[in-house]
Amino acid sequence: MILANATLVLPQETLSGSLTLKDGVIAEITPGAAVPAGAIDCGGDYLAPGLVELHTDNLERHIEPRPGVDWPHAAAILAHDAELASCGITTVFDAMRVGSIPRGKGRYTKYARELSRELLALRERDALKISHFLHLRAEVCSETLAEELAEFGPEDRVGLVSLMDHTPGQRQFRDISKLEQYVKSKRGMSDQEFVDHVAHLKALRDQYGDHHEAVTVSEAARFGAVLASHDDTTTEQVAVSAEHGIRLAEFPTTVEAAEACRAHDIKVMMGAPNLIRGGSHSGNVAAAELADLDLLDIVSSDYVPAALLLAAVKLGGMWDDMARGMATVTRTPALAAGLTDRGEIAPGKRADLIQFRMTEGAPALRAVWARGARVS
């Protein structure tokens, strides 16, 4: 198959050309606007690598569309997969929390092991449109993290493990009022229930936190997964991340932490909704500020899948460099996750591709291919 007359988004530049695809990979790049007989005419649209998503809560949203509503898992997985394909995402690391709090008003119950088995079974039956890996979000402020991690192994396609610590009063929720607003609206807590919830979380961190952190580092190595930090706030926290061998920082909350990440050669990932909205919903550093300071490497859709391509294009405009903007959602996240077979338009790479054009300042997707097959 030949995709012709396209604006190709290459690793360092954009140029007019065509791609020849064969056996699911890119076989040849040909410069120029010619349309050979039998080729698909892209009409000058952008042709870019398929998007690589490292951190999305979207699957959790599908299995629990409202608090307390448990949706059938196979249907939820298939809907999630189709939604991501329709947004141009061709590789996803599905975020699943491990580490539960089985008691209390703010309880979180175990679900990741069962859900991941169902996901992998659908993958084995070739029922999914795009490429799926597991991203285990290891919550150290919990009761059961070690036990839940022990249920996974190297065969489970665990590509990413992130160290999460949502203890009130630090990292993402330094401002406890932001946590109060979020938890009360989601869990329907009273004032006293929220006070009790905060006290319970702090007690769990005191009892289990250090042990859970050490177990997570060890288990990530056993899986052969990339280990990421989450919500680093201070230089000291980043230094600890570096000691753990972390090379990917999810959503650092301050300029100080992002600068420390750069000093330790840790890639900085920020959320696309933060960039598009112009700030963090938790009151932390704005992604645009880090982009202006050249401290932003990777973008994640976080909780809005359609935001990923829009954010990349927005960065391309901010930097006056579409190739650089698109790299934050393609080549750089792929390499950060240890995937060298995708994320860029080059001979021999997977034919995971998206075609889009700009409409009223926003990217309008026209087609998506995964391994050379049209999926949206």
Q: CATH number of the domain that 369 lies in?
A: 2.30.40.10
Assess whether 62 and 41 both reside in one domain: no
**CB under 8 Å to 110, separation ≥6 — which residues?**
100, 102, 144, 148
Q: Are residues 106 and 226 in the same domain?
A: yes
* 268 and 158 belong to one structural domain: yes
Asked if 65 and 141 sit in the same domain, the reply is: yes
The pTM (predicted TM-score) of the whole model is 0.91
Give the count of domains, the chain.
Answer: 2
Task: Indicate if 62 and 9 belong to the same structural domain.
Answer: no
Q: What is the CA radius of gyration of the chain?
A: 21
Claim to verify: residue 104 and residue 5 sit in the same structural domain: no
The per-residue pLDDT for 40 is 97
Q: 344 CB contacts (<8 Å, ≥6 apart)? A: 10, 11, 49, 330, 331, 334
The predicted pLDDT at position 142 comes to 86
Q: What is the CATH number of the domain that holds 294?
A: 3.20.20.140
At residue 128's C-alpha, the angle toward residues 9 and 99, to 5°, is: 100
Residue 346: per-residue pLDDT: 98
CB 212 within 8 A of CB 140: yes
Mark residue 88 as left, alpha or beta (left: phi above 0; alpha: psi -120 to 50; beta: remaining): left
User: Which parts of the chain register pLDDT below 50?
Assistant: none
pLDDT, position 272: 97
Model pLDDT, residue 334: 98
**Residue 240 is which amino acid?**
V
Co-location of 214 and 259 in the same domain:
yes
Reading the block at residue 334, the tokens are 């792929």
**Do residues 245 and 332 both lie within one domain?**
yes
Domain match, 136 and 165 both:
yes
Quote the pLDDT of residue 187.
64
Residue 39 domain boundaries: 1-49+342-376
Burial 162-178 (b: 16+ CB within 10 A, else e): bbbbbbbebbbbbeeeb
Q: Are residues 235 and 362 in the same domain?
A: no
Residues 20 and 99 reside in one and the same domain: no
Residue type, 325: G
